[in-house]
Amino acid sequence: MKKEKVIPIDSLDLVDLYIRVSTTEQALEGYSVAEQEHRLRQYCAAMGHRIHKVHIDAGFSGASLDRPGIKETIKDVQKHLVRRVIVWKLDRLSRSQKDTLIMLEDVFLENGCDFISMMESFDTSTSFGRAIVGILAAFAQLERENIKERTMMGRQARLAKGHYNGSRPPLGYSFIPGSNDLQVDPYQAAIVREIFKLFLSGISINAIARKMEEKYPTVRTWNNTMIRRTLKNPVYIGKVNDNGILRDGIHEPLISEIDFQMANAILVHNSKIKKQSCRSRSLLTGLLYCGDCGARMHPRRIARGYPLRRYVCYSVSRTSKSMIKSDHCTNRLHPYTQEELEQIIIDEIKKLAADEDYISEVIRNSSAEAPVDDTELFQERIEELNRQTDKLLNLYQIGAIELDQIQERLAALKQERESLTAAMKESQTKTDINMDHLKIMSYASAFQVALESGDPEYTNSIIRLLIDKIVVLNEDIEIHWTFC
């Protein structure tokens, strides 16, 4: 239960007089200290108030509460030494509406002290005085909303001009003294470049986080989220994020756009395959597809009690109902054990590491077609859907049609528009991750190192940088490389 504030009996009739005057006001308007004190003492005599103290701020502006006299007045109120505080005019207390409200609500009323302004007949002990406090509070709220709106407008204007907006600089940068603009921190910038280099060389996010924690324990709190956020942050290619819209920033980039796009394409690729394959001991889990029905393939023992395993189509094994694609799959005859099939793929990757001409041959023989950019088609259809929606709403507004007659059609248009918007966004985020020969050879070499290290997570991560999927139909094997 909240305790009621107890006011000492001795203070029930005591009042503080507060007087403020600036030099300009005294010269132009005659608000002298002596004149104010004379009138306030006359008022107290007429009303029967006993004066506790007179607090004077001579030569102080009313724009701030940083005044010795008002601070002493506040102390008296908080110690419950007085029952009332009296001023000659309301603006003697403060010329700031916000400060006035703070004094009324958080100092005077909070401590059971009334406030009286003699010239305006303003007295918080009356119902009218309390109503005025409510009005002041409403205006103060309006001012806070206006400040918030102006702040937001200023933020948007800064972003539109390429200025960074944030309370803390991202890794690799520091704030230019006196502003929120970014300048390169050479030491941290080298760490950012190292993170991208490690990731593009096939090192997993987990391994990078551990490495950063070992080398730079005091720079940041290193974890998977921190590494992933760094790899996704467009500030490193000289961009600022304006509510999802990337704008050219005025700061210096740390990473080339090619490396940034490559890293984010790999993140997207890895997110699609999730961690299913990484958790499996089988090298090709998540990459193998049946050439007949299109279902995934998984490792399974050839026979009970028999140690050898081979990759089998889910439509054939029927071990997972959700993975079955056909009731009549014919892909039952491929002769490879799990070990043999994996070794075939390993040998193909080793060729990439050893022979640049072989890479060229693989690319020439690839039948993969370049991805089609459907963004323009999506946009045209969305615009058409918007036009149809506008026509229906216009017919409704002029009374030519009832709302229940168009609700179903409007819902269908909205659903199609949302589907197209999602498809267009996905199409735009698909990044071409074509690699040059040196990059392919470096990945292939890293794969061999991963195999020798015995780290299954590292090995699975590297192989998925090179191979998109593998299609097996009986004895035929078709590798779909990511760089073709």
The catalytic residue positions are 22
CB 295 within 8 A of CB 315: yes
The CB-based long-range contact list for 422-428 (8 Å cut-off, 24+ gap) reads 423/374, 423/378, 424/374, 424/375, 424/378, 424/379, 424/382, 427/373, 427/374, 427/375, 427/378, 428/375
| Helix (H) and strand (E) counts in the chain | 18, 14
The DSSP element (H or E) to which 484 belongs, if any, is none
Distance CA 416, CA 383 (A): 12
Measured between alpha carbons, how far is residue 476 from residues 283, 292, 294, 311, 366 in Å?
19, 11, 14, 14, 16
* Two tokens, residue 35: 């004149």
The CB-based long-range contact list for 452-458 (8 Å cut-off, 24+ gap) reads 456/278, 456/281, 457/204, 457/206, 457/207, 457/278, 458/202, 458/203, 458/204, 458/207
Q: What is the DSSP letter of 281?
A: S
297: helix, coil or strand?
Answer: strand
62: helix, coil or strand?
Answer: coil
Q: What is the DSSP letter of 285?
A: T
